[in-house]
Amino acid sequence: MKYTKNRYGLYILLLLLGSCSKSPVADREEPAPEPVPVDLRSTREKYSTAITECPEAEWYTGIIKRELAELPANPHTGPSSSVLQLGKTLFFEKRMGSIQNSCSSCHNPAKFWTDGRKVALGGGVRNTPSIENAWYLKGHLFHDGRATTYADQITEAIESPIEMDGDLNIIPWRLSQIPGYIALFEAAYGSSTITRERILDALEVYIKSIHSSETAFDRFVRGDYNALTDQQIEGLHLFRTKAKCINCHNGPFFTDLDYHNLGYATNYRGSLDNGCQEATGLEADKGKFRTPGLRNVANTAPYWHNGEIGTLEEVIDLLNRGMPHTGRQRINGRLSPHIRPLQLTSDEQQAIVAFLNALSSPEPHVVAPDLTQ
């Protein structure tokens, strides 16, 4: 009887001990996840910090991620040199060609180094690209990248029958008949000998010195968070996120220096432009053109390599709708996979345009040299 009571007491004790321990089910339960905090800050508050600490940009797969940045110093500027002064004079010299136009005829500083025309003066089929910040292009010259050196690019511009129609085999002799140039070449190179190579070198030195200046965006990323309006900050946010602009327009000059097919390939003559394929011969490059930088983009209409689009509002609208191809415009080659409908609202499109205006710097004031003799 005593043995039975002891067994009964032990059983009760085990039950009591068991009731105080966690059940096997409770041991397996995961703690409830912490709720994701909702960021209630305004867009201005989110962007009032270093650009690298702003909301994460939305990148497509395979993109080299380069954040937007302020304008870097141009390493090709400094105290004015004799070579620079010679290059500037040659840049404005109309006697370099046979049709009385100069480099400045198409690259006019008063128009932010473009000409404001649909296609270049002289009968070309492409829009004149700005040469502002050309030093940064590093071998990506012309819309299709066909010139890899500045000497090649300048030579083609001078000798092209639809640009200056000059002859660099004759120009040195022609300039040697002008007393003012004898003195300029002497000062620049230590002798009055005028050669093709010296002409190209001086022009390259001057062209590399051309750059944009500070913008509201630059002041903003340096910490002046009042430099942009609320609408422009909203546009900056959309540029980096929903609109996906940053995928091609990134870095300090807002260009990836790559080539893309946007599908608007028909020029004003109604012919298809093969773009980079004309330089590389590769089928994959058909219809591709270099991504333009966006500094001063608000001042360099019309747009596209063919000058087909007149306003930034039209540019954003077309990209928002996935570049619809209506009328005479057609895809030539394979359309870039980055082109897709964005579903931006009207207000969002206006905000992006407002941001692009914040990339404008003051108009350059360049006095053309006076060399009449």
54 is annotated as contributing to ligand binding: no
CB under 8 Å to 251, separation ≥6 — which residues? 66, 67, 68, 69
CA distances from 192 to 179, 325, 327, 371 (A): 10, 56, 57, 17
Q: In a 3-state reduction of DSSP, which class is residue 64?
A: coil
Instruction: Give the pair of three-digit tokens for residue 280.
Output: 């590389």
Instruction: Give the pair of three-digit tokens for residue 154.
Output: 């300048």
- Residue 309: φ, ψ to 5°: -110, 130
Q: In a 3-state reduction of DSSP, which class is residue 1?
A: coil
C-alpha atoms less than 13 angstroms from C-alpha of 168 in its C-beta half-sphere: 18
Please give the sequence-ordered ranges of beta strands (E in DSSP) within the chain, or none if there are none: 259-260, 289-290
Torsion region of 330: left, alpha or beta (phi above 0 gives left; psi -120 to 50 gives alpha): beta
Q: Rounded to the nearest 10 degrees, how much is the dihedral formed by the CA atoms of 344, 275, 103, 159?
A: -170
CA 62 to chain centre: 18
Q: How far apart are CA 95 and CA 97, in angstroms?
A: 5
Task: Name the nearest CA neighbour of 220 among 70, 362, 43, 53.
Answer: 70
365 is annotated as contributing to ligand binding: no
103 is annotated as contributing to ligand binding: yes
CA 334 to chain centre: 22
C-alpha atoms less than 13 angstroms from C-alpha of 214 in its C-beta half-sphere: 8
Kind and range of the H or E element at 221? helix 216-221
249 is annotated as contributing to ligand binding: yes
Task: Name the nearest CA neighbour of 259 among 144, 150, 338.
Answer: 144
Binding-site residue ranges = 103, 106-107, 245, 248-249
Binding-site residue ranges for heme c = 103, 106-107, 245, 248-249
